[in-house]
């Protein structure tokens, strides 16, 4: 056992009230019996859907159509980076019993905490706009409704899914897992129909020298990074697991971390497969056929059927997009609630937070679709992911600092190789963002 500050232990113990499975935490085991690792499974699925949202579709579609398989290296590196950072986030939540936003409020000045809160809200709104617009595009492709109607229907669909949480967190998680499995099946069929060049795809996993020199590749690489490593998911993950070790002894923490790690790496590995499949599909269908200027989801939907040779390709494309959009908006709403509660110590009922998040996202989304129409939606989606990439260091740096702090984490702190890789990831994010800002400045 480690020596801990008694006041800090008392504060953690006070915050760690055991919760039932229906209330959002794992079922409390019988005395003397540790909870099975499967009882901690679920938060990873809610996090993973954020890595498969319409923003990912937009960046993967543009990257695959424009550059073939060459940006697969960015997808792989971003996914590995996401796994590492989400592992750190979940570890922070389990060990301290507090989430990243709460720790920022407690350990930073009020001005710094408010700044981080505002930038987090901007990131959530940017992500939410992408998800709302993506869902609207999917509804337009499937039902033939206008984008404006699609935006309104997507908001209703999100509220309907969130209503499932009244029956317990497990019900919401099960519905999200069902949507994820459906998306996976859609892409298995799509790839079987597209018949990609797997040798070229494997070669694309190695990063090329032109990654930081080509302005178009830098822009899309930043978009892929922002779509994969999402800042608000770092806040959300620590909030979802902070009650997983209510007894706060070494055995409880070790058991909870074991289950959380299975959940995190398993869910995010599946998310990587989906993201890679998106880019491979775009490369195999559009880049290989000479349609290298395809950057719009509607155009991709229109052309995929005649190129592949079956109308089912278009139907599966739109259905999977809708499933990703609806499930990802749930994650965005939960993240918004965690950020607001953590930074401001302000609690709102979930339906009020959902309405607030929907309202903040629907305004920009309706404005965008009215100004640009369906053929401008993809530029909006990619731009929103670039915003996430630029905001990412503001969440990553505090996360690494807290997780490596001995006084806060004790012997559970992140150190050694994982810490070195975490700071390397932060450096890579800053480097890519710097290259992006340099490219943007040179065009002005």
Which tops the pLDDT comparison, 244 or 17? 244
pLDDT the model gives residue 5:
46
Domains and CATH numbers, the chain: 41-443 (1.20.1740.10)
What pTM was estimated for this model as a whole? 0.81
348-357 pLDDT tens trace:
776 676 677 6
Residue 38's pLDDT band, with cuts at 50, 70 and 90, is low
Q: Report the percentage of the chain scoring pLDDT > 70.
A: 81
Listed range (20-34, 45-59, 197-211) with the worst mean pLDDT: 20-34
395-417 pLDDT tens trace:
999 999 999 999 999 999 999 99
**Three-state secondary structure string covering the chain:** CCCCCHHHHHHHHHHCCCCCHHHCCCCCCCCCCCCCHHHHCCHHHHHHHHHCCHHHHHHHHHHHHHHCCCCHHHHHHHHHHHHHHHHHHHHHHHHHCCCHHHHHHHHCCHHHHHHHHHHHHHHHHHHHHHHHHHHHHHHHHHHCCCHHHHHHHHHHHHHHHHHHHHHCHHHHHHHHHHHHHHHHHHHHHHHHHHCCCHHHHHHCCCCCHHHCCCHHHHHHHHHHHHHHCCHHHHHHHHHHCCCCCCCCCHHHHHHHHHHHHHHHHHHHHHHHHHHHHHHHHHHHHHHCCCCCCCCCHHHHHHHHHHHHCCCHHHHHHHHHHHHHHHHHHHHHHHHHHHHHHHHHCCCCCHHHHHHHHHHHHHHHHHHHHHHHCHHHHHHHHHHHHHHHHHHCHHHHHHHHHHHCCHHHHHHHCCCCHHHHHHHHHHHHHHHHHHHHHHHHHHHC
Residue 36's pLDDT band, with cuts at 50, 70 and 90, is low
- Among 115-129, 197-211, 262-276, name the most confident range: 262-276
pLDDT the model gives residue 83:
94
Would you say residue 429 has pLDDT above 60? yes
Residue 152's pLDDT band, with cuts at 50, 70 and 90, is confident
């Amino acid at each position: 056992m480690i020596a801990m500050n008694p006041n800090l232990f008392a504060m953690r113990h006070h915050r760690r009230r055991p919760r039932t499975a229906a209330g959002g935490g794992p079922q409390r085991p019988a005395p003397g019996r540790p909870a099975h690792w499967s009882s901690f499974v679920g938060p990873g699925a809610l996090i993973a859907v954020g890595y498969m949202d319409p923003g990912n579709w937009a960046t993967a579609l543009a990257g695959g159509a424009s550059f073939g398989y060459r940006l697969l290296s960015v997808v792989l590196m971003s996914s590995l980076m996401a796994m590492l950072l989400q592992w750190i986030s979940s570890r922070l939540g389990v060990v301290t019993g507090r989430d990243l936003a709460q720790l920022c409020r407690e350990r930073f000045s009020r001005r710094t905490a408010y700044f981080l809160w505002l930038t987090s809200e901007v990131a959530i709104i940017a992500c939410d706009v992408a998800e709302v617009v993506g869902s609207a595009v999917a509804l337009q492709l499937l039902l033939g409704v206008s984008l404006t109607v699609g935006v309104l229907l997507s908001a209703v669909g999100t509220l309907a899914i969130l209503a499932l949480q009244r029956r317990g967190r497990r019900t919401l998680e099960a519905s999200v897992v069902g949507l994820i499995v459906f998306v996976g099946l859609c892409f298995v069929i799509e790839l079987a129909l597209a018949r990609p060049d797997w040798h070229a795809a494997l070669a694309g996993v190695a990063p090329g020298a032109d990654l930081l020199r080509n302005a178009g590749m830098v822009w899309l690489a930043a978009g892929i990074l922002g779509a994969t490593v999402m800042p608000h998911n770092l806040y959300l993950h620590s909030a979802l697991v902070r009650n997983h070790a209510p007894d706060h002894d070494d055995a409880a923490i070790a058991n909870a971390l074991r289950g959380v790690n299975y959940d995190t790496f398993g869910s995010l590995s599946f998310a990587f497969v989906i993201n890679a499949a998106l880019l491979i599909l775009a490369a195999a269908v559009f880049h290989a056929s000479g349609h290298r200027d395809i950057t719009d989801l509607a155009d991709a939907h229109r052309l995929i059927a005649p190129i592949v040779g079956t109308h089912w390709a278009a139907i599966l494309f739109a259905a999977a997009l809708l499933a990703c959009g609806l499930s990802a908006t749930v994650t965005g709403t939960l993240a918004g609630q965690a950020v607001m509660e953590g930074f401001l110590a302000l609690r709102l009922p979930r339906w009020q937070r959902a309405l607030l998040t929907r309202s903040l996202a629907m305004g920009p989304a309706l404005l965008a679709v009215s100004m640009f129409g369906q053929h401008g939606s993809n530029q909006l989606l990619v731009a929103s992911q670039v915003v996430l990439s630029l905001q990412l260091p503001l969440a990553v740096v505090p996360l690494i600092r807290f997780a490596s702090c001995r006084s806060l984490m004790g012997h559970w702190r992140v150190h050694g190789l994982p810490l070195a890789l975490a700071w390397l990831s932060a450096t890579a994010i800053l480097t890519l963002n710097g290259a992006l800002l340099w490219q943007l400045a040179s065009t002005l």
